[in-house]
C-alpha cells in the first residue's frame, strides 16, 4: 500500500499535464536593449516638453502675452448723434436719444442654451425660432437679437446670461408726434432718412461714426482703449421754416373741419408772403412717426405736396390777371354773362343763375364760370399758357421735397376750345395746395414769384428774400387783390373767411372730383385761398378739404372757416397790426 502523500503528488502532476499550463511561461522576462530604447525615447520626449514649457514661460512670455492681447483687440465704431431738426425758433422736432441693441456670438451662446432661454423670455422672442436663426448664422460672430431698447432694460438682459452683449445706438424721437410728421418724416432703424426732411437733408443730418481700437474681455466689454482710428462726427442741425405755434393751430383746425364735414382728407399751407417760408403745413389723415408707421401707408403721404386736384374757381383771379396784363381787359371792364350759360364746342358752361353784365370784380365775387370762360377765351391759348406757367402752375414749388408733384398743366398745343374755356375756371388742370398758395403769393407780392422754403431763410444771406422775378405787373396784382376783398365781403362767397379788424382777400373753389372719363357726381373738393392783411400782405394760406359729405361741401362753407381760424390766430401771435380799424370799432360798439 502506497503512502497518501505520494498519491497526491501524482494527482497534481496529472492535473498540470491536463491543463497544459507551464508556470515558467508567466515568469517576467527582460528583453535588454529594446527596453532601454523605449525608455530613452519616453524620457527624451518628456524632457523636450518640459524644456519647451520652460522656454515659453521664461523667454517667450512677452511675445505670447502680446499675441493674446492681439486676439482680444477689436476695431469698433463710436456712434454719433444725427443732426437735430428744429422749428424756426429752436423747438426740437426730431432728436436722437441713446439706446442699446442686444447682440450675441452664435457659436458662443449656443453652448449656453439655458442662458439663451432666459434672454429670449426677457426679450419676448420665440426661443425655438431664435435657436434656428442662430444655427443658420453660426458662421458669424455678430447677430442682433433685438435692437434699440431702453439702456436700463438692455443692461438687465445682458446681465442675465454670459455671451450676451450690448451695442450703443441712437434712436430718432419726434416730440410733436403726428402734428408735424408729414414735414419731418422719419428714419429707418439704421438711422437713415426715409421720408420728409429726414430724407431730403440726409447728407446734412447724417452722422459719421468714429472708429477706435480697444481690448475686450471674454464678455465683450471694453477693458482698455488703445487708439482713436477716426473721430466721430455728429450730424448738422437744421432750422426749419415751421412755426410750431402756428403748426399746432393749423393741425387742430384742419382736423376739426375734417371731422365736422366727415371728409376723407385735407391739407392746408400757411406762407410768409414776403419770404416764401412755409410757416405751417398740415395734412389729414396723419400718423405718429414714433411708432406704428407701417399701419397706414397712405397716411404717411404729405398730401400738401404730393396730391393734386382741379382747383376750380380759385384759378379765376389768375385768369383775370392774365387778361389785364395782356391788355385784353382793364380793371373796370365788364362782361355780359347772359343768359347764365354759354355753349363751347357743343358743351354748356353754366352759372348758378343769370348774373347779366358783371365787372371783373363781380365775376370773382359771384364766382361766374361764364364770365371767367369769356375772359379766358379772349386770350390766345399761348398767352394764357405762358401767363399761368409764369405764375408757377405746372412747376415744383422750390421746396425740394421728396415726392413733390409738379401738378398737371398741359401745353397749349394740346388745348381744344373747351379746354381753353374751362381752364379759365380751374378745370382741365391740376395743382397741389402748395402750388396754389405759391401762386397767391404772387398776388400778395405785387407780382413777384417766390421759391418756397421749408428751411428758415437767413435775411443777411438772402437779399430781398430770394425773390426771383416779376411774373405779373404790380398794378395788376394790386387790382386783383382789391377785387378779391369783395369775395370775403358781405355779399361774397367767402364771408366765413372774414377776420374782424383785418381786410382779407381770397377766393373760394368747389370742384367735382375727376375720374376716368368724366367727373364723380357727388364727390367734391372744397378749396379756399386767401391773403391777409390785404392792405399790406403778410400771410398767404390755402386750404383743401377732400370729399366733404356733411354740413355742406362748398369752399366758402368748408375751407374758408379753417382759413379764418388759423390766420386770425397767426395775425395775433405774429403781432400784425389791424388794417380795418373802422370795422373793428363798429363791431366792438355793437358788442357793447
Catalogue the active-site residues. 313
Q: Which helix (H) or strand (E) holds 133?
A: helix 127-136
Sign of CA dihedral 351, 355, 360, 366: negative
C-alpha distances in angstroms, 264 versus 33, 255, 296, 396? 105, 11, 14, 25
Query: Is residue 469 packed enough to be buried (19+ CB in 10 Å), middle (13-18) or exposed (0-12)?
Result: exposed
Q: Report how far residue 523's alpha carbon sits from residue 530's, in angstroms, rounded to the nearest whole number.
A: 24
CB 522 within 8 A of CB 543: no
Report the alpha-carbon angle 553-557-560, nearest 5. Answer: 120
Question: In the sheet where 210-216 sits, what is the strand order?
Answer: 73-78, 210-216, 222-230
Helix then strand then coil, in percent of the chain rounded to 5, is 40, 25, 35
Q: Report how far residue 256's alpha carbon sits from residue 66's, in angstroms, rounded to the nearest whole number.
A: 70
Q: Report how far residue 435's alpha carbon sits from residue 309's, in angstroms, rounded to the nearest whole number.
A: 11
Report helix angle 316-325 to 474-487, nearest 10.
150
Nearest to 372 by CA among 445, 421, 435, 442: 421
Rounded to 10 degrees, what is the CA torsion of 250, 251, 252, 253? 50
Q: Report how far residue 498's alpha carbon sits from residue 100's, in angstroms, rounded to the nearest whole number.
A: 54
Rg (CA), the chain: 42
Rounded to 10 degrees, what is the CA torsion of 51, 52, 57, 60? 130
Nearest to 358 by CA among 486, 496, 477: 486
Sign of CA dihedral 378, 381, 383, 389: positive
Amino acid at each position: 500500500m502506497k503512502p497518501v502523500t505520494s498519491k497526491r503528488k501524482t494527482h497534481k502532476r496529472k492535473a498540470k499535464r491536463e491543463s497544459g499550463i507551464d508556470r515558467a511561461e508567466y515568469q517576467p522576462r527582460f528583453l535588454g536593449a529594446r527596453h532601454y530604447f523605449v525608455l530613452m525615447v519616453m524620457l527624451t520626449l518628456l524632457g523636450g516638453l518640459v524644456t519647451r514649457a520652460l522656454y515659453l514661460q521664461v523667454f517667450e512670455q512677452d511675445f505670447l502675452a502680446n499675441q493674446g492681447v492681439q486676439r482680444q483687440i477689436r476695431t469698433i465704431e463710436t456712434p454719433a448723434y444725427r443732426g437735430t431738426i428744429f422749428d424756426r425758433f429752436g423747438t426740437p422736432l426730431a432728436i436722437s436719444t441713446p439706446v442699446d441693441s442686444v447682440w450675441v456670438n452664435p457659436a458662443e451662446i449656443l453652448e449656453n442654451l439655458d442662458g439663451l432661454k432666459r434672454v429670449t423670455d426677457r426679450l419676448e422672442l420665440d426661443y425655438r425660432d431664435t435657436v434656428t436663426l442662430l444655427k443658420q448664422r453660426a458662421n458669424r460672430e455678430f447677430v442682433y437679437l433685438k435692437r434699440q431698447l431702453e439702456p436700463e432694460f438692455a443692461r438687465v438682459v445682458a446681465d442675465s446670461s454670459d455671451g450676451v452683449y450690448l451695442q450703443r445706438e441712437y434712436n430718432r424721437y419726434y416730440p410733436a408726434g403726428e402734428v408735424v410728421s408729414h414735414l419731418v418724416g422719419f428714419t429707418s432703424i439704421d438711422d437713415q432718412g426715409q421720408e420728409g426732411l429726414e430724407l431730403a437733408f440726409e447728407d446734412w443730418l447724417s452722422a459719421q461714426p468714429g472708429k477706435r481700437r480697444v481690448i475686450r474681455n471674454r464678455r465683450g466689454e471694453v477693458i482698455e482703449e488703445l487708439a482713436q482710428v477716426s473721430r466721430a462726427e455728429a450730424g448738422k442741425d437744421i432750422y426749419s421754416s415751421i412755426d410750431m405755434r402756428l403748426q399746432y393751430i393749423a393741425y387742430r383746425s384742419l382736423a376739426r373741419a375734417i371731422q365736422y364735414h366727415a371728409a376723407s382728407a385735407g391739407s392746408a399751407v400757411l406762407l410768409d408772403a414776403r419770404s416764401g417760408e412755409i410757416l405751417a403745413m398740415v395734412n389729414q389723415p396723419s400718423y405718429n412717426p414714433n411708432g406704428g408707421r407701417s399701419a397706414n401707408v397712405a397716411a404717411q403721404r404729405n398730401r400738401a405736396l404730393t396730391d393734386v386736384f382741379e382747383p376750380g374757381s380759385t384759378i379765376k383771379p389768375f385768369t383775370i390777371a392774365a387778361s389785364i396784363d395782356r391788355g385784353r381787359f382793364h380793371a373796370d371792364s365788364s362782361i355780359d354773362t347772359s343768359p347764365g350759360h354759354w355753349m363751347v364746342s357743343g358743351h354748356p358752361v353754366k352759372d348758378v343763375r343769370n348774373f347779366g353784365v358783371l365787372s371783373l370784380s363781380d365775376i370773382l365775387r359771384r364766382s361766374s364760370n361764364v364770365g371767367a370762360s369769356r375772359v379766358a377765351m379772349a386770350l390766345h391759348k399761348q398767352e394764357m399758357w405762358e401767363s399761368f406757367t409764369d405764375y408757377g402752375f405746372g412747376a415744383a414749388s422750390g421746396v425740394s421735397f421728396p415726392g413733390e408733384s409738379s401738378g398737371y398743366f398741359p401745353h397749349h398745343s394740346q388745348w381744344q376750345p373747351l379746354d381753353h374755356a374751362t381752364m379759365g375756371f380751374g378745370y382741365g388742370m391740376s395743382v397741389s395746395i402748395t402750388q396754389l398758395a405759391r401762386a397767391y403769393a404772387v398776388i400778395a407780392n405785387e407780382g413777384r414769384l417766390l421759391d418756397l422754403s421749408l428751411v428758415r431763410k437767413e435775411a443777411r444771406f438772402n437779399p430781398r428774400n430770394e425773390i426771383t422775378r416779376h411774373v405779373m405787373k404790380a398794378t395788376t396784382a394790386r387790382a386783383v387783390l382789391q377785387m378779391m376783398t369783395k369775395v370775403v365781403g358781405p355779399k361774397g362767397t367767402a364771408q366765413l373767411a372774414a377776420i374782424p379788424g383785418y381786410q382779407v382777400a381770397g377766393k373760394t373753389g368747389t370742384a367735382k372730383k375727376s375720374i376716368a372719363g368724366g367727373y364723380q357726381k357727388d364727390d367734391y373738393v372744397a378749396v379756399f385761398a386767401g391773403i391777409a392783411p390785404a392792405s399790406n400782405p403778410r400771410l398767404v394760406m390755402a386750404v383743401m378739404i377732400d370729399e366733404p359729405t356733411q354740413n355742406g361741401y362748398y369752399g366758402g362753407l368748408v375751407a374758408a372757416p379753417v382759413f379764418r381760424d388759423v390766420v386770425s390766430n397767426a395775425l395775433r401771435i405774429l403781432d400784425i397790426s389791424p388794417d380795418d380799424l373802422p370795422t373793428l370799432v363798429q363791431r366792438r360798439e355793437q358788442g357793447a
